[in-house]
């Protein structure tokens, strides 16, 4: 068969299959991320029907998916909201880091994966899935709840931590010297500071540059700007994902709303390809040996993330049920955890088993999170509070 015809057939099969998986996920009320990962596992190395002719396209499409995921995440926040969220949530954010990175770090060290592996797995277990959390809150009609600003503040803090974490991780994976690592952090801090200042003072000018009344022109300008900034950030070793996130922050007002509406279908398409690509690179046979450790991380980080949300909501003087909803909402892991693991794949400093462990972990957590968020209220009612003892 002609090579181009074969590529078109395989690509069509992938996209059509993703559509079926997405529909199935919608019907059962779960995030499609775990199903996309399973699809990648089925058609990747060691899968049922390995696909080998569309690797170049899917790899690049996966990179575009990461850029769009982070761009739209940045579009959800203004620079002022980020600064306000940071002021409100910094203490809860620190508790979040300590509680939720620790299990990943501990497991990596126990398995002998060294400091770099510990940093990678710590990041995988630390970061909640903003995409899944936002979808769950919307689906369950909780966007107006009192605990929702607390949840969003924690997510904002996590996103800012990622803006510093990813450049440091990239430097470590590349094996740079101590001074090189310090330089990478310095560049990252400088870039983030400059972007926040520009967004706060001159955000309207950034929005004006990309804005247009013509949807086609608007789409081309926003997407082109995102890829340019992402490429520049990658060249500066700040991370393409962080560059796209910072551009999203700089775009504000009606321009941000229009960009979100226009880019959402593209994001969903390319993000789905990204998750499939990650699954394609993981041999399903490598997951069972690390499944036990994945379950250890699932149990421990479900408890620690729930505790984080509960404590943050309690600190905001929110009631018992609201605390439980906040804790359950934060449990899901997804796109960012896979971004971190995907960034580490292929580097000699990180063992191949890490991607298998991350895949198994995210598969389970992407399902546990929405289920727990949906049923946390009846679960809490099973354990009524004790009435106060009369004096």
Which tens digits make up the pLDDT trace of 64-109?
887 887 788 778 767 676 677 667 778 898 999 999 999 999 999 9
34-65: pLDDT as tens digits = 788 777 777 766 556 666 556 667 778 777 88
Least confident of 61-70, 96-105, 183-192, 253-262: 183-192
269-279: pLDDT as tens digits = 887 887 777 77
* 130 in Cβ contact with 366 (< 8 Å): no
* 360 in Cβ contact with 287 (< 8 Å): yes
Query: What is the average per-residue pLDDT within 313-322?
Result: 91
Query: What is the average per-residue pLDDT within 310-323?
Result: 92
pLDDT of residue 35: 81
Q: How many CA atoms lie within 13 A of 93 on its CB side?
A: 17
* 36 in Cβ contact with 21 (< 8 Å): yes
pLDDT of residue 109: 95
* Helices within 29-54 (DSSP H only): 33-43
Buried b vs exposed e over 153-164: b needs ≥16 C-beta within 10 Å? bbbbbbbbbbbb
pLDDT of residue 389: 45
Which one of 132-136, 290-294, 357-361 scores highest in mean pLDDT?
Answer: 290-294
Question: Distance between CA atoms of 250 and 205, rounded to whole angstroms?
Answer: 9
* Its pTM surpasses 0.85: no
Using the predicted structure, report yes or no on whether residue 338 has a pLDDT greater than 70: yes
Report helix, strand or coil for 112: coil
Fold of 12-380: Na+/H+ antiporter like fold (1.20.1530)
Cα-based distances in Å from 146 to 90, 199, 229, 385: 19, 28, 36, 20
């Amino acid at each position: 068969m002609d090579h181009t015809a074969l590529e078109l057939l395989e690509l069509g099969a992938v996209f059509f299959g993703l559509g079926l998986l997405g529909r199935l996920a919608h019907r059962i009320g779960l995030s499609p991320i775990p199903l996309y990962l399973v699809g990648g596992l089925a058609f990747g190395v060691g899968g049922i029907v390995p696909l080998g002719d569309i690797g170049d396209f899917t790899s690049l499409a996966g990179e575009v998916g990461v850029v769009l995921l982070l761009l739209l995440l940045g579009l959800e926040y203004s620079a002022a909201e980020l600064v306000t969220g940071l002021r409100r949530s910094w203490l809860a954010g620190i508790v979040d880091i300590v509680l939720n990175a620790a299990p990943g770090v501990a497991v990596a060290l126990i398995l002998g994966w060294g400091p770099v592996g510990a940093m990678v797995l710590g990041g995988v277990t630390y970061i909640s899935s903003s995409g899944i959390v936002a979808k769950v809150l919307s689906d369950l009609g909780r966007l107006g709840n009192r605990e929702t600003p607390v949840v969003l503040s924690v997510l904002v803090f996590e996103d800012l931590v990622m803006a510093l974490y990813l450049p440091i991780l990239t430097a470590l994976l590349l094996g740079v010297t101590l001074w090189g690592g310090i330089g990478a952090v310095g560049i990252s801090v400088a870039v983030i500071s400059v972007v926040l200042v520009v967004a706060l003072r001159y955000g309207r000018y950034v929005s004006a540059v990309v804005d247009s009344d013509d949807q086609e022109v608007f789409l081309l300008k926003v997407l082109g700007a995102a890829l340019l900034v992402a490429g520049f950030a990658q060249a500066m070793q700040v991370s393409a994902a962080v560059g796209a996130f910072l551009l999203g922050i700089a775009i504000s007002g009606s321009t941000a709303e229009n960009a979100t509406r226009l880019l959402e279908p593209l994001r969903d398409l390319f993000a789905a390809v990204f998750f499939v690509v990650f699954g394609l690179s993981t041999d399903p046979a490598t997951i069972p040996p690390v499944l036990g450790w994945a379950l250890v991380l699932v149990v421990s980080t479900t408890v620690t993330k729930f505790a984080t949300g509960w404590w943050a909501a309690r600190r905001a003087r929110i009631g018992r049920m609201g605390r439980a909803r906040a804790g359950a909402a934060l449990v899901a892991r997804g796109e960012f955890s896979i971004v971190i693991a995907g960034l580490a794949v292929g580097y000699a400093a990180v063992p191949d088993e890490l991607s298998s462990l991350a895949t198994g972990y995210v598969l389970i957590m992407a399902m546990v999170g929405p289920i727990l968020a949906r049923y946390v209220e009846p679960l809490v009612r099973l354990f009524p509070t004790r009435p106060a003892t009369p004096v």
